[in-house]
Amino acid sequence: MTTIDLTEFIAGLPKAELHVHHVGSASPRIVAELAARHEGSTIVPADPDQLAAFFDFRDFAHFIEVYTAVVHLVRDPEDLWTLIHGVGVDLAAQNVRYAELTVTPYIHLLNGIPDAQFCEVIEDARRRVEADHGTVLRWCFDIPGEIGISGERTLRIALDQRPDGLVSFGLGGPETGISRAQFAPFFDQARAAGLHSVPHAGETTGPDTIWDAINHLGAERIGHGISSAQDPKLLAYLAEHAIPLEICPTSNVCTKAVPSLAEHPLPTIVAAGVPVTINSDDPPMFGTTLNQEYAVAAQLLHLDPTGIAALAKSAVHASFLDPQGKSTLLHEIDTYTNQWLSL
């Protein structure tokens, strides 16, 4: 099939997105709108044409600096609702049927949005997206690892508020110098309350960070996890225990975690039998979309439509969607693929 055929196939393919941050998913239009509201108190440009240069990252530390600046644009409930709803609409436009959106409640608390109101707003936006566009959103409440006191408060918001869409508990932010083990008590309590463990690990640090996420945080999926390619024993463990990695190829290049797409370890990880999902992370910041990430993965792995559909199904299997929802989405993927192949 031609490249354009694959592009069209991917565009129409029903998909699940498991590693996408709500602030990092704001389109240039939304970011510019928020920047204009708060002009004079932010370094984020209000001109959409200037955002591309603003999102040109020198390294991962610079990415965190820029990301934090965008986070601080979300200062009131209206900002938050606009952001979440806009992200949901953009996902629906790519035929994403189900998404687990990573949100960081602690940052919004610092910005002046109380716990209960934060959860009320994101739930209202989630329900509106599902009602109007059919895309199901779920939440991962994420600890910003660089803020030492954030773990306890993030846990309290998760357990005390417990919004209907909350399915998992995560850990983000810089990895270097941030021990995974220090967050074990919070993950223990979250898991005891029925939340799934999905920490970031092994993006900008080595395999030891991934081992720590597994051994100390009970990780059921790993955010990124690309340095696992450096450790054959770890690859074997991930494969044996069916621990999926949430792979975001373009993100890894943009943050300088890997030198280029051609050098991305995705093929090594897949060859080792590790389950992988393809995701977009912070798509507008990295000039990508989930559809483009599937195209990148197809090129790296030399996939035809059947192989691409298998990647989409892998994301469904790795998701925390309920069994009936999984069955429905898997059937939709198969039906779409069979119809495409019969043309």
Which DSSP string corresponds to 284-311? GGGT--HHHHHHHHHHHHT--HHHHHHH
Structure tokens at 133: 């566009």
Tell me the pLDDT tens digit for each residue of 140-167: 999 998 887 899 999 999 999 999 999 9
CATH number at residue 245: 3.20.20.140
Structure tokens at 209: 């960070």
Question: Domain range for residue 245?
Answer: 3-341
Write the DSSP symbol of residue 281: B
Q: How far apart are CA 266 and CA 279, in angstroms?
A: 12
In this prediction, residue 189 carries a pLDDT of 98
Q: How far apart are CA 20 and CA 43, in angstroms?
A: 23
In this prediction, residue 65 carries a pLDDT of 82
What contacts 117, CB < 8 A, 6 or more positions away?
77
In this prediction, residue 3 carries a pLDDT of 44
Q: DSSP states of 51-80 as a string?
A: HHHHT--SSHHHHHHHHHHHHTT--SHHHH
Residue pair 171/199 in contact (Cβ under 8 Å)? The answer is yes
Residue pair 113/77 in contact (Cβ under 8 Å)? The answer is yes
In this prediction, residue 146 carries a pLDDT of 84
In this prediction, residue 243 carries a pLDDT of 98
Query: Active site includes 39?
Result: no
Q: How far apart are CA 149 and CA 237, in angstroms?
A: 32
Partners of 169 in beta bridges:
141, 197
Residue pair 341/306 in contact (Cβ under 8 Å)? The answer is yes
Q: How far apart are CA 276 and CA 302, in angstroms?
A: 15
Q: How far apart are CA 107 and CA 150, in angstroms?
A: 9
pLDDT along the chain (343 residues), means of 10: 74 97 82 84 84 80 81 86 92 97 89 92 97 98 88 96 98 91 97 98 97 98 98 98 98 94 98 98 90 97 97 98 98 96 85
The distance from CA 189 to its chain's CA centroid, rounded to whole angstroms, is 23
What contacts 116, CB < 8 A, 6 or more positions away?
161
Number of structural domains the chain divides into: 1
Residue pair 102/138 in contact (Cβ under 8 Å)? The answer is no
Q: How far apart are CA 201 and CA 219, in angstroms?
A: 10
Residue pair 234/211 in contact (Cβ under 8 Å)? The answer is yes
Residue pair 109/74 in contact (Cβ under 8 Å)? The answer is no
Q: Which residue has the tokens 């009970």?
A: 218
Q: How far apart are CA 304 and CA 264, in angstroms?
A: 19
**DSSP H helical ranges for 13-149:** 28-37, 48-54, 60-71, 77-93, 105-110, 115-133
Q: How far apart are CA 178 and CA 328, in angstroms?
A: 40
Partners of 277 in beta bridges:
246
Choosing from 203, 220, 246, 293, which is the catalytic residue?
203
